Amino acid sequence: MSSQNELSTKVILVTGSSSGFGRLTVETLARQGHCVYAAMRNPAKRNHSVASELMELARNENLNLHTIELDVTNSASIDAAVAHVVKEQGKIDVLVNNAGVMNVGITEGYTLEQVKQQMDVNYFGPVQLDRAVIPHMRKQQSGLLIHVSSLAGRLVFPYFGIYCASKFALEAVAESYRYELSAQGIDSVIVEPGPFGTSLISKSPKPEDMERLADYGDVAQLPDKMLASFEEFYQTDDAVNPQVVADDIASLIALPHKERPLRTVSGLDYGVRDLNISAEPVQRTLLETLGMLSMDPTAKGMDNGQRTA
């Protein structure tokens, strides 16, 4: 007979594990006893040092932690990674869609190609990953899709227009899966981090259409000034430790099916918790009007995703 610990151990795939929330999440989950696959681009070269650090951690602490090649913008890479995990473990219990990029700048200054690149990473990547793992989860009649969004998936920040669009899109498909997959034993949830001092800002792609930017004059400098103010904030005592996000993800995994909230706000919220609470009855009324309220896994609990973590 399996022990309770064995029953609670999950096979988990986390994208974007080379830094930030992803790196913290894989370490946190592995230390909790889960079988964790830390997915990243090119662990043999580009991210060799990170992959080596994670493997050393696994050896030193006897963790069931693995690194795996996965480019969320490449369909073949996605299919290969998921197939590899299933072949090695026989299943996949949790997918954490964490990989992301954040375009911050004059919205008009981003070329169409840049906009497509933003959507490829933050939206089309998770959509393809969900589609890759759902058949395996459906077969086992259990599973959890975690979509790491942002406050920018609920609020619109000036100069974050392209990024906000990608996160709004991600939240829409994640919530739709929430209703469509619940009866098959699969939960779909959203984590909405507030501002944290991760590498997203330093790696933010800049607008490339210089002709359009020139039309804005001095206003074109405002996004960089705003990002600088964020960086200063992250150095103060008021900044929140990004470990909070990893802990919230771990808490969601530990909860039973149909008890996981739809949305979890992590850290500072700029009023998003209140927004979520206000929107919940509107969405619930829509489902009820359509005769689909039973598709909401937490309909009876009247607490659809309004955690205050």
Six-digit token string for 6: 């064995």
Q: What's at 85, amino acid-wise? A: V
Distance CA 245, CA 107 (A): 28
Distance CA 71, CA 39 (A): 8
Cα–Cα distances (Å) from 130 to 118, 122, 133, 172, 293, in that order, read: 18, 13, 5, 13, 23
Cα–Cα distances (Å) from 63 to 32, 68, 151, 215, 253, in that order, read: 9, 15, 32, 54, 18
Distance CA 68, CA 112 (A): 31
Six-digit token string for 198: 């991760």
Beta bridge partners of 186: 143
Nearest-CA neighbor of 270 among 159, 180, 155, 141? Answer: 155
Sign of CA dihedral 104, 267, 189, 26: positive
Are 189 and 253 within 8 A, CB to CB? no
Cβ-count burial 291-301 (b if 16+ within 10 Å, e if not): eeeeebbbbee
Q: Which residues are catalytic?
A: 18, 149, 163, 167
Are 257 and 297 within 8 A, CB to CB? yes
Distance CA 209, CA 231 (A): 25
